[in-house]
Amino acid sequence: MKFDSYKRVIFSVAVLAIALAVACGKKETKVSEIGQGEGEVSIVAWPGYIERGETDKGYDWVTEFEKSSGCKVNVKTAATSDEMVALMNEGGFDLVTASGDASLRLVAGGKVQEINTDLVPSWKNVDSRLQNAPWHTVEGKHFGVPYQWGPNVLMYNTKVFKKAPTSWNVVFEEQVLPDGKSNKGRVQAFDGPIYIADAALYLKQAKPELGIQDPYELDEKQYTAVIELLKKQRQLVPKYWHDAMVQVDDFKKEGLVASSTWPFQVNLLVSEKQPVASVVPQEGATGWADSTMLHKDSKHVNCAYKWLEHSLSPKLQGDLASWFGSVPSVPSACKGNALLGDTGCAVNGFNNFEKISFWRTPKEDCSGGRKCIPYKKWAEDYISIIGSK
Q: Given this model, what pLDDT does residue 17 score? A: 43
* Residues 302 and 314 sit within 8 Å (Cβ to Cβ): no
In single-letter form, the type of residue at position 379 comes to A
Whole-model pTM: value is 0.84
- 330-368 confidence digits (pLDDT tens): 999 999 999 999 999 998 889 889 889 999 999 999 988
The yes-or-no verdict on residue 256 having pLDDT over 60 is yes
**pLDDT on residue 31:** 87
Pairwise CA distance, residues 189 & 198, whole Å: 10
Could you tell me if 285 and 152 are in contact, meaning their C-beta atoms sit under 8 angstroms apart? yes
Bridge partners of 74, per DSSP, are 42
Q: Fold for domain 153-261+361-387?
A: D-Maltodextrin-Binding Protein; domain 2 (3.40.190)
* Banded model confidence at residue 388, pLDDT cuts 50, 70, 90: confident
Quickly state the pLDDT bin for 14 (edges 50, 70, 90): very low
Residue 26: pLDDT over 80: no
- Mean pLDDT within 240-255: 94
Start and end residues for every CATH 3.40.190.10 domain found in the chain: 40-149+288-353
> Taking the alpha carbons of 51, 57, 63, 68 in that order, is the dihedral positive or negative?
negative
Spatial separation of the C-alpha atoms in residues 110 and 104, rounded to whole Å:
10
Closest CA to 202 of 152, 239, 163: 152
pLDDT at 13: 45
Average pLDDT value for residue range 138-165: 97
Strand pairing class (137-138; 145-151): unpaired
Mean per-residue pLDDT, 281-292: 96
What pLDDT does 32 receive? 86
pLDDT (0 to 100) of residue 8: 41
Which of 37, 32, 31 lies closest to 306, judged by CA? 37
Comparing CA positions, the residue from 97, 215, 146, 151 lying closest to residue 349 is 151
What homologous superfamily is domain 40-149+288-353 in, according to CATH?
A: Periplasmic binding protein-like II (3.40.190.10)
pLDDT of residue 318: 98
* pLDDT, tens only, 295-312: 999 999 999 999 999 999
